[in-house]
Amino acid sequence: MDLVEVRPQVHMFRFRIGQAYLWRDGADLTLIDAGDITSAAAIEDGVRAPGHTPGSIALHLPRHGVLFTGDAVASVERVMLGVFNVDRAEAAATFRRLAALVPRTVCFGHGDPLTEDAAAMMEAAANGG
């Protein structure tokens, strides 16, 4: 397992088949396993993100410009719709909704986080570009 600093408040634990994140808010640390809202007490906004599974969520910190997509979106060689979706059309609609949040930093369940031009890259990928 590797520990990677995404930005000063966000650290990523990278495992062989995925990752999880730690959010630091002052002295408090929250383990973020996007997909389980109960693990993210410090998160400002849980966003319904169906498609990968019916109950999938993304976690959004609008005040900080950070979005945790869970498995709805991936960044493996490029930003793309996550794979193995129960409902691909609904997953694509979720991707477009997440991109419309205009995040500055995006953390995925699989792949490297976006820390520069995140909103533009999400929008382009969500719209097929």
| DSSP per-residue letters across 53-68 | STT-EEEEETTTTEEE
| Helical residues (DSSP H) of the chain, grouped into ranges | 88-99, 118-126
Q: Given this model, what pLDDT does residue 42 score?
A: 45
pTM attached to this predicted model:
0.81
Rg (CA), the chain: 13
**8 A C-beta contact, residue 69 and residue 47:** no
The residues, any chain, with a CB within 8 Å of residue 40's CB and separated by 6 or more, are 23, 30, 32, 33, 34, 46, 59
Measured at the alpha carbon of residue 104, what is the angle toward residues 84 and 1, in degrees to the nearest 5?
A: 55
88-99 vs 118-126: helix crossing angle, rounded to 10: 150
How do the pLDDT tens digits run along the chain, 129 residues long?
688 889 888 888 888 777 888 888 777 777 776 544 444 444 556 788 888 888 888 888 888 899 999 889 999 899 999 888 899 999 999 999 999 999 999 999 888 999 999 999 999 999 886
**8 A C-beta contact, residue 109 and residue 19:** yes
Q: Which two tokens stand for residue 80?
A: 């793309």
**8 A C-beta contact, residue 77 and residue 114:** no
